[in-house]
Structure formats: structure tokens, C-alpha cells
């Protein structure tokens, strides 16, 4: 068989594009402001030198066309929709200044507007690049192994079931599972893990993650277009278009405000000359200055810039926030409802106790239990099957399964009707009534935080299994961090036994424990938390807890790496199993909301100041333009601070 690491890594197998853009390409965002500024400087110089008017008007014309082309197109497009936007205001102000003989003033306005736009676009581009980078990490080619021969193929040609070779230091080309080899894999681009994760046969791996020192043979589980990395990139990019409540409010305000500015500008241009307060020239110049100062550019960018930066930052840390509305809402959460299995606990239970009744044996108890549980995909069922196989006990064929929600499962194994469930499920109606001895044994295990599965064959109790699902080691620390962020209640909602839930709850320090719940009861409890605390987030696995997650203000999927349902259903998905990411996500939301409020305050503060100064004639147009564009750049740069957000 060909060795996994038989040859050095091929450059084409690693996802990197080493071609550097040219100087002009790197600074393309400066072309418009530089060319228009040069034309303005030439025109101003020619005018001051007393050269023919047509000569310096040509230079000014170049400035107006180059700097004003984009605002004219955008403003005209909005005007056709009977909307007045910021580009329209700028063009009117510049042309108005030129019409009253202040051509240099109008050109300066457009140049400064172009510079401001260029700086905004460049700064916003940093956030967009952080998102776009997600989709560029995965390799473009893969080393496909087929019939013992390795050959490089485009990742788009990989099919589910193919085997790919990943050499040391290469990025993985596809989502799949390790079939051969062991290595540490840096999967921080997806999960945000701070350290590489050990991988061995059977473990899941993701496209775009970086292999360590060992060679791996990986079985492909997803097409390149459906990899977790590709889906994350799409969902995060789509999040930019999902507007936050603050942004929608700002847009509604702008739709009323901009026409009001136009009316006020006309009034300033007409009324003072009619009353003899100002000359027509002074009034028009003051009106153009007011038009510039009152333009709400900074307000329009204050929210989307912060949302874009926060969503990009969260994705880099393995937290997928699917839109500005969810980001803002997350910051209002005051209570968390959390599933137990797989959320507060690791979701990897193991059989620790086998109790035998009557004339049965441990082997018989495990064999019967594993035969029935082989029909289920629940983590507890998998643990029972794994425990049997570790003892070389192969499950028998089970037929006629009967799944009773919240009550267990029954099936026919050979000639016997085998029923599994908690002790309370054996009520004498759907299953034999639990005896005092069965209840006593179950209570002993439950007091030790064991989940109990009682096994009955026909009407006789065969035995019971005790399974232990340990709390996540970081759970207690995470809940302390959450409380410091204003979370007033962490409630555990579980279908598990009350004694088990209380033992786990005491260990991790939750505030409220509700156990032995049916799915519909979880919904009722989420609503009760909402009535008591206000906004509530439901944290679960994205499948069994989907109804409760949909009911809550924010649905958060835990451990969503590679889980299609969680990625699609949740408002927020944590791409690894670290509960501390909850505190990161909520803290980031708080920071984003603070920056949005700061930006709105800066934007409206500068606008109000300029309106007053421009109306009184206390600020010349160039200064008004500088203050206006300066405030716009400030709010974008302030928002970009979120790209470096860290929990304290």
C-alpha cells in the first residue's frame, strides 16, 4: 500500500495564492481621490495665475467628472426611485457652489467626499476581507487515492466516499473522517480552538484546517461546495445583508430626514435674501454649506460597519452569527435556557455500571440493551452499543421497534419483547410496573449522577445500566463569566432524571433545574423565563431542542461543527464545544451595541453642530466638508475596533 507520507507536499495541494498584486492594484482605492485632487490643484493654480478661464475650467471639469461620477450615478439611480440619498445631496451642493461662481469650493467638496468614500470603502473592506478569507482557506486541489494510486485533482471533483491523502503541513481539502493515520490538526478557522486537536481514525475533520506533523488518509463526507467552511463563508456573507433593528430605524429616519434637509436648504437659499438679511450669493453659499453639513453619511454607516466587523470577528473565533438582528438581540439576553446532554455535559456518555436482576448475567443485560439501542442514534444508545462491543458482545437483530417519546424504546429481540427506559417509564401501562427493588437500585445510581436505563424482557426485569455523562470542564467558569455580563439566570432544561440533573446542576452551578421534561414542556419553560427576565437564549444541539430554540429570542446551537441542522436552524452557532464561547458571543454583542450607540452619537452630534454653524454662517464650506467626512471615517474606524475584540 502506498504510504501516506511517501513524497513531499506538492505546492498545488496547499491552498495559498502567492501572487502579489501590483502596486497600482493595491492602491486602486486611491485612484479617484488622487486624480481628482490633482485636477483640482491644477485648476486652482491656473486660476490664480490669471490664465484663460477656459483652461482652468477644463481642469476643474476633470475634477468634477472624476470625483462626481460615482455620486451622480448612485444619486440618479435613487432619484429614479423617488428617493433622495446622500450622493444626491453632495452633487447638488457641489453644482450649487459652482453655479454661484465658487467652482473651487465645489471641486474641493467632491474631492473630500471622494477621499472620505475611499477611506470608508478601504476600512470596510478589511472587515469584508476577514469574511472572504473564510472561503479562501481550503485548498483548490486534493491528492486523491484510488486503486492504490495518488493523483492531484480539483477539489470540485471529489465525491462522497473518496479517499484523500493529507501530508504534514498541508490543509485538508474536504470535510470527512480520518480512516488512517494520527496527527494534530489546527482547526481554529472553523472552531476557534486555541490549540491543535489530536485526530485519529474515526475522528471528524474539516476542509481548510491545517494538518500537523502526521500524515492522514481521509474519507470524504461532503462535497467541496457543502463543506462546513464553505457553508460558514456563505452564511456569514449573507449575514451582512440582514439588517439590525438599529440600522432599519436609521434608514427609516434617513428617508424622512433627507427630504427635510432639501426643504431647509431651499428655505435658507430663498428666505434671507427676500427679507434683506443676506445677499443672494451669501445665502446660496450658506445653503450649500448646510446641505453638506446636514448630510447623514456617518449615520448611514454607523450600524452596518459595526455589524460587519462583529460578525467577521465572531466567525474568526468559531462563532457563527447569522445577521445583525441576532447580534443585537444577543446583547439583550438576560437568561439562558440550556439543554443538559451535549450542551452542559460533553454528550459522550459511557456505561459505568451494570446491575443484574434475578437469573440474568451482565452479558445478557448488555446484549439485550445493545440490540434495541442499535435502532437509535441517541448518544446514550451509542454508548450502550459501544459498551457491548468492547466486551465482544454483538447486538442481535431487533425488530418491530416502538419509540415512546420521553418514555424509552421497545423492540422484539428473538422471541422476547425487550423494553428500555428510565425507572419511571415502567408504569404498568406501557411496560411492567417497576418494583421497589428496581426503584431503589435506580435511585442509588441517580444519586451518583448516573443516567439509568432499566432493561425488561417481556414482563420480567433483567437489569439496568448506569451511564455517566460528565459536565464540560469549562462549564463552571463559563457560567461565572456569563453572570459578569449581566446574565441573571442559567436554567438547565432536560428530559433526564431529576436526581441526575440536580447532581450535574450542583456541580456546574446553574440557577434553575427542570428535569424529566417532554419537548413541549421545554417550550413552556422558555416562555416562563421570557416573562420573568425578558430576552432569553436557548442553547441546545440544534435538533432535539429546535422547538425551544425557535421559541426563544435567540437560538444557539452548541457544538455545531459539521452539523447541517444546527447551521441552518440556529440564529447563532458555536462551531466547537467550548461553553466559554457563549460569554465571548454575548460580550461581543455588548461591545457592538456600545459602538453602535457611540457611532450614532458621533454622527448626529456632528450633524447637529454643522446645521447650527452653517445656518449662522459660522463655518466655511471646506471646513464643513472636512468635519462631515471626518465623522464618517471616525465611525467606520471605531467600528473596526470590533475586529480585535477579546473577552476581558
Other CB atoms within a 10 A radius of the CB of residue 136 amount to 14
Task: Please state the φ and ψ torsions of residue 139, each to the nearest 5 degrees.
Answer: -65, 160
Q: Which residues neighbour 227 within 8 Å (Cβ) at sequence distance 6 or greater?
A: 138, 174, 175, 206, 207, 208
Three-state DSSP class for 139?
Answer: coil
CA distances (Å), origin 314, targets 97, 245, 296, 566, 576: 45, 19, 29, 17, 13
Q: Is 339 a catalytic residue?
A: yes
- Angle in degrees, CA 501, 502, 504, rounded to 5: 65
Q: Which residues neighbour 264 within 8 Å (Cβ) at sequence distance 6 or greater?
A: 290, 294
- Check if the beta carbon of residue 306 is closer than 8 Å to that of residue 639: yes
Among candidates 120, 71, 119, 59, which has minimal Cα distance to 95?
71
Active-site pick, 339, 469, 571, 577? 339
- Greatest CA span in the chain, whole angstroms? 115
- Check if the beta carbon of residue 593 is closer than 8 Å to that of residue 79: no
SS3 for 299-353 is: HHHHHHHHHHHHHHHHHHCCEEECCHHHHHHHCCCCEEEEEHHHHHECCCCEEEE
List beta partners, residue 184: 198
Measure the CA–CA gap between 295 and 117, rounded to whole angstroms. 14
Among candidates 104, 121, 93, which has minimal Cα distance to 39?
104
Measure the CA–CA gap between 388 and 223, rounded to whole angstroms. 34
Among candidates 9, 14, 2, which has minimal Cα distance to 168?
9
Secondary element (H or E) of residue 42: helix 31-48
- Check if the beta carbon of residue 222 is closer than 8 Å to that of residue 12: no
Measure the CA–CA gap between 296 and 288, rounded to whole angstroms. 15
SS percent in the chain: helix, strand, coil, step 5: 55, 15, 30
Other CB atoms within a 10 A radius of the CB of residue 456 amount to 26
Active site residues: 339
Amino acid at each position: 500500500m502506498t504510504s501516506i507520507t511517501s513524497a513531499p507536499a506538492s505546492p498545488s495541494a496547499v491552498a495559498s495564492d502567492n501572487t502579489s498584486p501590483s502596486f497600482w492594484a493595491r492602491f486602486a482605492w486611491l485612484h479617484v481621490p488622487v486624480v481628482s485632487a490633482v485636477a483640482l490643484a491644477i485648476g486652482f493654480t491656473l486660476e490664480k495665475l490669471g490664465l484663460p478661464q477656459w483652461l482652468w475650467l477644463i481642469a476643474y471639469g476633470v475634477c468634477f467628472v472624476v470625483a462626481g461620477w460615482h455620486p451622480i450615478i448612485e444619486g440618479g439611480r435613487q432619484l429614479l426611485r423617488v428617493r433622495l440619498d446622500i450622493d444626491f445631496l453632495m452633487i447638488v451642493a457641489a453644482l450649487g457652489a459652482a453655479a454661484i461662481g465658487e467652482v473651487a469650493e465645489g471641486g474641493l467638496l467632491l474631492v473630500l467626499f471622494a477621499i472620505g468614500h475611499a477611506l470608508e470603502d478601504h476600512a470596510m473592506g478589511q472587515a469584508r476581507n476577514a469574511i472572504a478569507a473564510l472561503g479562501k482557506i481550503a485548498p483548490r486541489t486534493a491528492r486523491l487515492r484510488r486503486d492504490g494510486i495518488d493523483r492531484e485533482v480539483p477539489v470540485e471533483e471529489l465525491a462522497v466516499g473518496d479517499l484523500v491523502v493529507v501530508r504534514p503541513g498541508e490543509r485538508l481539502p474536504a470535510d470527512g473522517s480520518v480512516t488512517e493515520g494520527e496527527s494534530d490538526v489546527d482547526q481554529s478557522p472553523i472552531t476557534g480552538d486555541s490549540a491543535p486537536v489530536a485526530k485519529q481514525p474515526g475522528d471528524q475533520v474539516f476542509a481548510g484546517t491545517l494538518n500537523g506533523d502526521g500524515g492522514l488518509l481521509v474519507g470524504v463526507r461532503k462535497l467541496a461546495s457543502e463543506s462546513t467552511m464553505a457553508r460558514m463563508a456563505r452564511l456569514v456573507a449573507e449575514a451582512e445583508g440582514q439588517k439590525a433593528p438599529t440600522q432599519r430605524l436609521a434608514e427609516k429616519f434617513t428617508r424622512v430626514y433627507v427630504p427635510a434637509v432639501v426643504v431647509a436648504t431651499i428655505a435658507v437659499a430663498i428666505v434671507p435674501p427676500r427679507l434683506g438679511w443676506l445677499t443672494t450669493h451669501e445665502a446660496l453659499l450658506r445653503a450649500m454649506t448646510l446641505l453638506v453639513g446636514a448630510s447623514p453619511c456617518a449615520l448611514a454607516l454607523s450600524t452596518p460597519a459595526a455589524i460587519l466587523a462583529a460578525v467577521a470577528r465572531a466567525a474568526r473565533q468559531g462563532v457563527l452569527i447569522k445577521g445583525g438582528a441576532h447580534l443585537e438581540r444577543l446583547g439583550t439576553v438576560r437568561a439562558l435556557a440550556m439543554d443538559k446532554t451535549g450542551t452542559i455535559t460533553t454528550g459522550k456518555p459511557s456505561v459505568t455500571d451494570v446491575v443484574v436482576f434475578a437469573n440474568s448475567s451482565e452479558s445478557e443485560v448488555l446484549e439485550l440493551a445493545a440490540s434495541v439501542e442499535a435502532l437509535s442514534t441517541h448518544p446514550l444508545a451509542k454508548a450502550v452499543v459501544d459498551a457491548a462491543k468492547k466486551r465482544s458482545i454483538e447486538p442481535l437483530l431487533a425488530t418491530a421497534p416502538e419509540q415512546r417519546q420521553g418514555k424509552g424504546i421497545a423492540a422484539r429481540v428473538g422471541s422476547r419483547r425487550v423494553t428500555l427506559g428510565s425507572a419511571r417509564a415502567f408504569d404498568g401501562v406501557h411496560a411492567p410496573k417497576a418494583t421497589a427493588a428496581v426503584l431503589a437500585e435506580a435511585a442509588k445510581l441517580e444519586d451518583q449522577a448516573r443516567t439509568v436505563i432499566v432493561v425488561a424482557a417481556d414482563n420480567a426485569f433483567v437489569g439496568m445500566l448506569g451511564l455517566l455523562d460528565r459536565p464540560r470542564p469549562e462549564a463552571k467558569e463559563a457560567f461565572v463569566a456569563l453572570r459578569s455580563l449581566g446574565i441573571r439566570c442559567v436554567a438547565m432544561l432536560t428530559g433526564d432524571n431529576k436526581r441526575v440533573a440536580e447532581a450535574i446542576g450542583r456541580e456546574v452551578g446553574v440557577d434553575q433545574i427542570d428535569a424529566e421534561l417532554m419537548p413541549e414542556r421545554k417550550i413552556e419553560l422558555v416562555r416562563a423565563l421570557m416573562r420573568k427576565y425578558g430576552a432569553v437564549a436557548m442553547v441546545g444541539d440544534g435538533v432535539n431542542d429546535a422547538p425551544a430554540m425557535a421559541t426563544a429570542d435567540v437560538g444557539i446551537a452548541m457544538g455545531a461543527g459539521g452539523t447541517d441542522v444546527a447551521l441552518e436552524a440556529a440564529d447563532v452557532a458555536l462551531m466547537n464545544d467550548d461553553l466559554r464561547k457563549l460569554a465571548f458571543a454575548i460580550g461581543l454583542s455588548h461591545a457592538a451595541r456600545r459602538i453602535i450607540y457611540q457611532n450614532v452619537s458621533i454622527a448626529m452630534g456632528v450633524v447637529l453642530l454643522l446645521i447650527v454653524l452653517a445656518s449662522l454662517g459660522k463655518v466655511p464650506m471646506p471646513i464643513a466638508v472636512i468635519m462631515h467626512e471626518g465623522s464618517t471615517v471616525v465611525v467606520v474606524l471605531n467600528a473596526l475596533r470590533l475586529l480585535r475584540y477579546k473577552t476581558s
